[in-house]
Amino acid sequence: MAGRRIGIIIPDPNGPVYYKGWYHLFYQYNPDSAVWGNITWGHAVSEDLIHWFYLPIALVPDHWYDANGVWSGSATLLPDGRLAMLYTGSTTDSVQVQNLAFPADPTDPLLRSWVKHAANPVLLPPPGVHPKDFRDPTTAWRVVVDDDDDGDAAWLVAIGSKNDSRRRHAGIALVYRTVDFVHYELLPGVLHEVEGTGMWECVDFFPVATTQSTAGLDSSTPAAPGVKHVLKASLDDDKHDYYAIGTYDATRNAWTPDDPESDVGVGQRYDYGKFYASKTFFDPTKKRRVLWGWIGETDSERTDLAKGWASLQGIPRTVVFDRKTGSNLLQWPVEEVEKLRLDGKEFANITVAAGAVVPLDVGKATQLDIVAEFTVNESALANTIEADIGYNCSTSNGAAGRGALGPFGLLVLADRERSEQTAVYFYVGRRPDGSIGTHFCQDELRSSAASDLVKRVYGSLVPVLDGETLSLRIMVDHSIVESFAQGGRRCITSRVYPTRAIYGAARLFLFNNATAGDITCKSLKVWPMDSASIRPFDEQYRSSATKLGPTQRGYQRKFFI
């Protein structure tokens, strides 16, 4: 993999921001080992979110208030162009506190040096909150203070916690008000809480446009007609990222989900695979909201130590409101990733019989961008009486199972004999009420011959509207598979470790394991992918990332290994 560093672990993305012509990503980083510990902030910059430069470590645990780790945090750009970075520190007594850092030289677009504020810690756990349950401040958002005669603006910031006293094991988001990022006032109540969800980590809170605009919104965009707010939490209990869409009332310090049955922690997830501790930021250059997520390992810690690295960052994704369903977000790889596409191949109207597997001649298949559309045999759909309302991707037999209308889809990172394969597929079932339910799944059960892996089948139901074909986009990168169904209504990320389906031995197949009839791959486009440039920063290479040839690059991302 490109940019590999020996003996490191790289978890949560932190403080993503666009500053003076550069995209910045900070990240949890252990420079000494491939296991958790000695957490500092690594730092990388890019001009296009694809080609990256490593910079020196940004923040290290060197004060009593962060001696046990510089943990997760967020960046806020102030109206005058200054940058405030809030992060959680674990003190010498393992108390979680919030700290402020700022650029030592605000004129440096690369932000290569940071200063911790003399007032740190700027926030301590409030009464009633356990000292180890107070972490991960959000990007701040600006509001007008109604009770100030002069209409001054203040900033609000949310911090994750839990409440085990009043409501059983409830995850909560606390909100603080500040005007200078040094002094804070805890607002009454909580922004939101959900019983039974446990500790909320890496809370994120941002507005989305629900009207015709597909642009992202700055975090300080107020609640108004045509604007909803997304509340996301990473659940410490199950290590998944959940979100819900709702209405924000700043005067009451309250956010209410549109659908209480699909609340934070009990409803929709950003990603149904290996994806956690995510963070968004607003990109002012392209008016979009961009999502980063941490992809952890599923092999053993012993293997991570032997290979010398662990964890990666996923491809950055744009996030918009799905106006067609009105109930979920759409996530999609940033458009810049398409610059890595090489000459591809197109296929059309491939019929795949029940029980068949169709090889696809696409050349080297270790780094691919795949876009596909499927249609189901109409007579099979009309005649099937199978009631699969109880179908569940995670408890199924994966691609090896057989139902009337599924599974069918693509086998990626497969060797010629398919002894190794990762299956990305749909499973269509008719419910007792006659409606159709479509599942989108990703099967790792045969992804590798390695014996020390946790292998799962991931997935969920995906909304499919009348007249829509079943559509997939799959990003394949050696040992990562990131898949997007129905334009990004559902996403699944798998960390796989093929031992045979590597380099020139990797193949791509269509498959149909349904019993009721043929399926048709209406269209299929497959692009081999070039590799991103990921290297230490050197002034002579500034702005040259896109000019590098394939032989000058390592394998495509993942960005920080």
* Superfamily classification of domain 8-335: Glycosyl hydrolase domain; family 43 (2.115.10.20)
Q: What is the mean pLDDT of residues 223-228?
A: 94
Q: Identify whether the C-beta of residue 173 lies closer than 8 Å to the C-beta of residue 186.
A: no
Cα–Cα distance, 243 to 233 (Å, whole number): 7
Q: With 70 as the cut, is the pLDDT of residue 183 above it?
A: yes
Average pLDDT, the chain: 91
- pLDDT, one tens digit per residue, over 335-390 is 999 999 999 999 999 999 999 999 999 999 999 999 999 998 777 776 665 555 57
| pLDDT at residue 542, as a whole number | 58
| pLDDT at residue 561, as a whole number | 25
In this structure, the strands spanning 170-178 and 192-194 are antiparallel
Q: How far is CA 241 from CA 272, 298, 354, 387, in A?
A: 9, 17, 36, 30
Q: With 60 as the cut, is the pLDDT of residue 549 above it?
A: no
| pLDDT at residue 552, as a whole number | 32
Instruction: Residue 100: count other Cβ atoms within 10 Å of its Cβ.
Output: 23
| pLDDT at residue 301, as a whole number | 92
* Phi/psi-derived region of residue 28, left when phi > 0, alpha when psi is between -120 and 50, beta in every other case: beta
Q: Is the pTM of this model over 0.85?
A: yes
Cα–Cα distance, 67 to 399 (Å, whole number): 48
- pLDDT, one tens digit per residue, over 153-162 is 899 999 999 9
Q: How far is CA 502 from CA 141, 248, 364, 372, 448, in A?
A: 46, 48, 9, 23, 10
Q: How far is CA 418 from CA 74, 134, 480, in A?
A: 44, 47, 18
Joined together, the tokens standing for residue 360 give 């696809």
Q: What is the mean pLDDT of residues 479-497?
A: 97
| pLDDT at residue 7, as a whole number | 54
Q: With 60 as the cut, is the pLDDT of residue 408 above it?
A: yes
Q: What is the mean pLDDT of residues 532-548?
A: 67
Instruction: Residue 268: count other Cβ atoms within 10 Å of its Cβ.
Output: 21
Give yes or no on whether 8-335 and 342-528 have one common fold: no
| pLDDT at residue 560, as a whole number | 25
- 226-236 b/e with 16+ CB inside 10 Å = b? ebbbbbbbbbb
| pLDDT confidence bin for 145, thresholds 50/70/90 | low
What architecture is the 342-528 domain classified under in CATH?
Sandwich (2.60)
Q: What is the mean pLDDT of residues 17-45?
A: 95
Both ends of the chain: CA-CA distance in Å?
Answer: 7
Is residue 112 classed exposed, middle or buried when 0-12, 13-18 and 19+ CB atoms within 10 A define those classes?
middle
Q: What are the counts of helices (DSSP H) followed by strands (DSSP E) for the chain?
A: 2, 37
| pLDDT at residue 153, as a whole number | 83
Q: What is the mean pLDDT of residues 130-141?
A: 98
Cα–Cα distance, 23 to 13 (Å, whole number): 13
| pLDDT at residue 558, as a whole number | 34
Q: With 60 as the cut, is the pLDDT of residue 555 above it?
A: no
- pLDDT, one tens digit per residue, over 263-315 is 999 999 999 999 999 999 999 999 999 999 999 999 999 999 998 999 999 99
| pLDDT at residue 321, as a whole number | 97
The residue ranking higher by pLDDT, 516 or 49, is 49
Give the three-class secondary structure for 144.
strand
- Phi then psi dihedrals of residue 504, to 5 deg: -70, -10
| pLDDT at residue 166, as a whole number | 62
DSSP string, 354-385: TT-EEEE--S--SEEEEEEEEEE-HHHHHH--
Q: What is the mean pLDDT of residues 69-74?
A: 98
Q: Identify whether the C-beta of residue 402 lies closer than 8 Å to the C-beta of residue 513.
A: yes
| pLDDT confidence bin for 516, thresholds 50/70/90 | confident
- Which range has the worst mean pLDDT, 97-106, 186-195, 212-221, 441-450? 212-221
Q: Locate the DSSP E strands across 224-354.
A: 227-235, 240-249, 254-257, 276-283, 288-295, 309-310, 312-313, 317-321, 329-333, 345-352
DSSP secondary structure letter of residue 468 = P
Q: Tokens 């507005």 appear where?
A: 207
DSSP secondary structure letter of residue 223 = P
DSSP secondary structure letter of residue 449 = S
Q: With 50 as the cut, is the pLDDT of residue 255 above it?
A: yes
- The one catalytic residue in 12, 204, 388, 443 is 12
Joined together, the tokens standing for residue 210 give 């629900």
Cα–Cα distance, 483 to 189 (Å, whole number): 39
The residue ranking higher by pLDDT, 468 or 432, is 468
The helix (H) or strand (E) run that includes residue 307 is helix 301-307
In this structure, the strands spanning 288-295 and 312-313 are antiparallel
- pLDDT, one tens digit per residue, over 230-251 is 999 999 999 999 999 999 999 9
Q: With 90 as the cut, is the pLDDT of residue 391 above it?
A: no
Q: What is the mean pLDDT of residues 512-533?
A: 95
Q: Locate the DSSP E strands across 60-152.
A: 70-77, 83-90, 96-103, 114-116, 141-144
Q: Identify whether the C-beta of residue 265 lies closer than 8 Å to the C-beta of residue 173.
A: no
- 537-547 b/e with 16+ CB inside 10 Å = b? beeeeeeebee
Q: Percent of the chain, pLDDT > 70?
A: 91
The helix (H) or strand (E) run that includes residue 140 is none
| pLDDT confidence bin for 118, thresholds 50/70/90 | very high
| pLDDT at residue 343, as a whole number | 96
| pLDDT at residue 554, as a whole number | 31
The domain segmentation of the chain, as residue ranges, is: 8-335, 342-528
Cα–Cα distance, 68 to 101 (Å, whole number): 17
| pLDDT at residue 388, as a whole number | 54
| pLDDT confidence bin for 559, thresholds 50/70/90 | very low
Q: With 70 as the cut, is the pLDDT of residue 3 above it?
A: no
- Which range has the worst mean pLDDT, 6-10, 142-146, 422-426? 6-10
Give the three-class secondary structure for 325.
coil
Instruction: Residue 69: count other Cβ atoms within 10 Å of its Cβ.
Output: 21
- Cα torsion 540, 541, 543, 549 to 10°: value is 140
- 12 in active site: yes
Q: What is the mean pLDDT of residues 425-441?
A: 86
